[in-house]
Structure 1
């Protein structure tokens, strides 16, 4: 989300006529971009009064702009000490604290700024950014709504509001914001892209394609939408040539180039040219990986520490811990293993709400600070969770997911990587249900490699050797969880689902204590927003894995054979 620095529209009254005159000059210099003269004037003011609130505020803003955040914080706090009712100082202090990763302190400053000056949209935007970073989308959304109310024709705010609504899984409201932008500027590229994405997530592929083709008509084939368009429709030969030309016109190190290679790979895949598709995949993934880091040793340590802490003795000593609420259903597994499909099936039931991929469990590094445990390590934090803390953490999770829907029995959290947090789930929400999605190791890893994820946390997926390494760690930790909770983990095997959908869906519903309803068999007709890479697949009948798509790439991506040891012999 965009960080918005508070505008200075005036200076605070001071007793000294000389300082008042200098403050007026400094503000004028700042507003006209004469920053060196602005700073010099502030220095003159500070020489007269080192605690002058106007000089400290303005020079703090200059320090912030120069990314000298510690200095900026010091100046803002000095300004506030003299003038505690200066909303601009509180707002900018919040911004600076956020820049040095002090989100709770930043939140308090921005809340104070809003209380003192409720008419400034920037403070609402910045507080929304903080709440979003902390994972409180349900708090960020109304803050941006208020900012938009204060500035209803601000295109940047409308776009930001639309994007956060998309993240909050509310594509219908997001589409309304993008349409508001287009009413102001029909040619706005970001609004057309956002509207196309919203329509796509809602399953309205015809309207999605129309919106994306408006961008194509005015902007040629830019990387930020080419993949979406390729996924929606068949491109003409002329359009494919434009994609290839756009790619070739970029240097190999360009961050935009991978999107074109992913798109060209998908085009070649549909044509059956798997050697060419694989070549584009290698180029696309190598390009993505240049800006991302995957540390094998650090990742192994994280998995090993989790296994070491969450052992049988750990749970024996914590019998009865947690919140007894049974609302959550956690759908987890490797990305591209069928988590979206499983959620879509469950969300087709009237007693279930599908909340999508929630970051809630991963935000305990912030909760740890709230509870006075200064640790970003989940295993370390878990070892210090008391009985009362476990109950509060579980109840906090329930309260947050209930913000999505209060009138259903179950709410699905389908964050795939929660497989790393099953120990935490059993500690704080012992009555929740856990569904583990399974798919052929080679199929799931190839699918990851073919996907241009928006989540930077999936850096391992852009190198086949790293992807295979990560898959091995996933299997290792799942073996550990099965040794502890095997009887309580519900399996959803993709191959079995395809072979006999009705039997598997009935089994899944029964395992979740849900009665069978025919709508679950027609999950692809369910009207709801889907945001993941599987957005188009869940609108179609189940894919048939007997095609063994990975075999088509085996000669060109031979690394996949390293996964043969995990394969089902059938």
Structure 2
């Protein structure tokens, strides 16, 4: 690699080409092959071998469709043959994938100027001015981040901050890197500090709003969005950010008005139409949601999330024209990765509904594989986390930490795996006059993340902290979640991933109730495999990972039963379907609530629901989905060999 780069820098293109060709003949990994093909294309173009360079780029882009420099190289080749239209498209693609590519923006200034595209020209000028204003180290680190070299970008950024403490752009960039690495607590601290030190730094505050919403801190997100709107009152992005936060805290009608206000000013914004559709869906207005989703893809036919959102209503049936449109989008080489994944999941759902199961599974497989390639989920890491929970939260821990937490009995946690029936249980309980339904709250996960920043790490740190902290943490949970409640004495937190933190919950909220929503493993795992989640649940995009995750979850729940007998109520989804009243009475007895008929008529309860099952729980109970997996049984060997070896 070093020899090739040196030859290129020295202008010895023949030697660079020869070295590249030799390297490609040897056994190299995909990452090396991509880099060598890129350098070969550059060397060939610089030499003037345009046809050969074009063939090299044609090999490169299918291998690395999201590689910004590959598209930039294609753009330069188009310029060589005076194809300025395609050159512009390729430079736009490159700059979208990597907004730190200064040379692409510089070329776009000239290309947009020639054709009189003032808006594009002004945007390119703005980007060039911004990138040129950055210190070289930060511009380089931003480039590395967009190229996916997060560890190196993090190192460069931290080194710069050592000698330029509190540099605004460096703090922002380090937070962005942290978000990509899922170090959300650190990123939140950085952004909060950044906007305190640099209160007029709009970009950092906007990023802070987005992160707060991602973390489920919608009240804080709304407050920060209002600060932005104080100086940019009619900014559509900031208005949309505020509306999104309002949906999160249940102010859906007002959020819908904001989205409509934006669309009245500009009706060509597919992203706003999508958000409007989500708001309508959460509010139970499925017809309006469908209309908004349809309008979104009509504005941008490649908008995969619009098609998936239609499919994800679980009731929508695509027309033949829509199916042809989706297939046509998939055939386009320039289709973005996320759009492709969304369309593949939408088509899979459609073909399953049409009982074309083999075709449906192929699209589920394509979509999951593409999603999984970008996640790098680790079974080993999960196993370590499970073992750590068992090791720390043992019988001795609970005997020495009994009743230290906040005694408030209000919280009811519903835990388990996604697609295990937790939304149904939530809807049943939320139909009771003494229970508020909320949503999947992030507070327990956030506390675990904060504890993880201690040098001992979480969960080990719980053995070291002062006993007074447990009551303090419990009180903080009650206070922070108050905004999601409507005044009932009890409320629900249905974050499924909280099953990992039942020990922590018991320590800080000893009188909380925990309900384990359990579903037959193959049905549960395959339902998760079919679902394209908006955030998290990285294990769900691979059948082997799903099987391992379910087994790990079972193992940890068995541990909680052994060290906290009676603290968790297990509710089997299949039992709820077969005998609703018996299971409802079990639930209410466990939560120490009097029986109310409204819990049997849960589908009549009007409330905002943001999960994929929102429309299903607005209908009377049925067993339609119970054995859907059997239509795909021949494809589910990674699940059947573990859970149904017969």
Q: Same fold (TM over 0.5)?
A: yes
Contact 2:195 2:204 in 1 (8 A): yes
Q: Show the counterpart of 2:235.
A: 154
Matches within 5 A, 1:265-414: 265-368=348-451, 373-375=454-456, 377-405=457-485, 407-414=487-494
Contact 2:142 2:173 in 1 (8 A): no
The size of the alignment, in residue pairs, is: 503
Q: Show the counterpart of 2:192.
A: 107
Alignment of 1:430 with 2:507, yes or no, is no
Contact 2:138 2:157 in 1 (8 A): no
Q: Show the counterpart of 1:420.
A: 500
Alignment of 1:479 with 2:558, yes or no, is yes
Moved more, 203-212 or 249-258: 249-258
Contact 1:329 1:433 in 2 (8 A): yes
Q: Show the counterpart of 1:507.
A: 586
Task: Give the 3 Å change call, closer, same or farther, for CA 206–380 of structure 1 in structure 2.
Answer: same
Of residues 47, 51, 69, the one that matches 2:157 is 69
Moved more, 557-566 or 435-444: 557-566
Q: Matches of 1:533 and 1:95 in 2, distance apart?
A: 33
Matches within 5 A, 1:233-248: 233-248=316-331
Moved more, 30-39 or 525-534: 30-39
Q: Matches of 2:593 and 2:565 in 1, distance apart?
A: 21
Q: Show the counterpart of 1:560.
A: 639
Q: Show the counterpart of 2:118.
A: none
Give the deviation of 1:519 after TM superposition: 2.4
Question: What do you get for the CA RMSD once the two structures are aligned?
Answer: 3.1
Task: Give the 3 Å change call, closer, same or farther, for CA 525–72 of structure 1 in structure 2.
Answer: farther
Structure with greater contact order relative to length (CA < 8 Å, sep ≥ 6): 1
Task: Give the 3 Å change call, closer, same or farther, for CA 381–135 of structure 1 in structure 2.
Answer: farther
Contact 1:423 1:481 in 2 (8 A): yes
Question: Can you give the 5+ residue segments of structure 2 that lack an aligned partner in the other structure?
Answer: 1-124, 144-152, 179-185
Contact 1:60 1:75 in 2 (8 A): no
Task: Give the 3 Å change call, closer, same or farther, for CA 380–256 of structure 1 in structure 2.
Answer: same
Of residues 223, 248, 256, the one that matches 1:142 is 223
Matched residue SS, 1:411: strand
Give the deviation of 1:541 after TM superposition: 1.7
Q: Show the counterpart of 2:627.
A: 548
- C-alpha distance after superposition, 1:465-489 (max 9, x if no partner): 1111111111111111111223121
Q: Show the counterpart of 2:103.
A: none
TM-score, normalised to structure 1's length? Answer: 0.80
Task: Give the 3 Å change call, closer, same or farther, for CA 223–404 of structure 1 in structure 2.
Answer: same
Give the deviation of 1:511 after TM superposition: 1.6
Give the deviation of 1:358 after TM superposition: 1.1
Q: Matches of 1:146 and 1:419 in 2, distance apart?
A: 36
Alignment of 1:488 with 2:587, yes or no, is no
Contact 1:334 1:417 in 2 (8 A): yes
- C-alpha distance after superposition, 1:130-176 (max 9, x if no partner): 64566533222112123224322211212222333344454333322
Alignment of 1:249 with 2:329, yes or no, is no
Matched residue SS, 2:419: coil
Contact 1:285 1:462 in 2 (8 A): yes
Q: Matches of 1:492 and 1:498 in 2, distance apart?
A: 11
Matches within 5 A, 1:72-221: 73=161, 77=165, 95=172, 98-99=175-176, 101=186, 103-104=188-189, 106-114=191-199, 122=203, 124-129=205-210, 131-132=212-213, 136-221=217-302
TM-score, normalised to structure 2's length? Answer: 0.71
Q: Matches of 2:132 and 2:399 in 1, distance apart?
A: 67
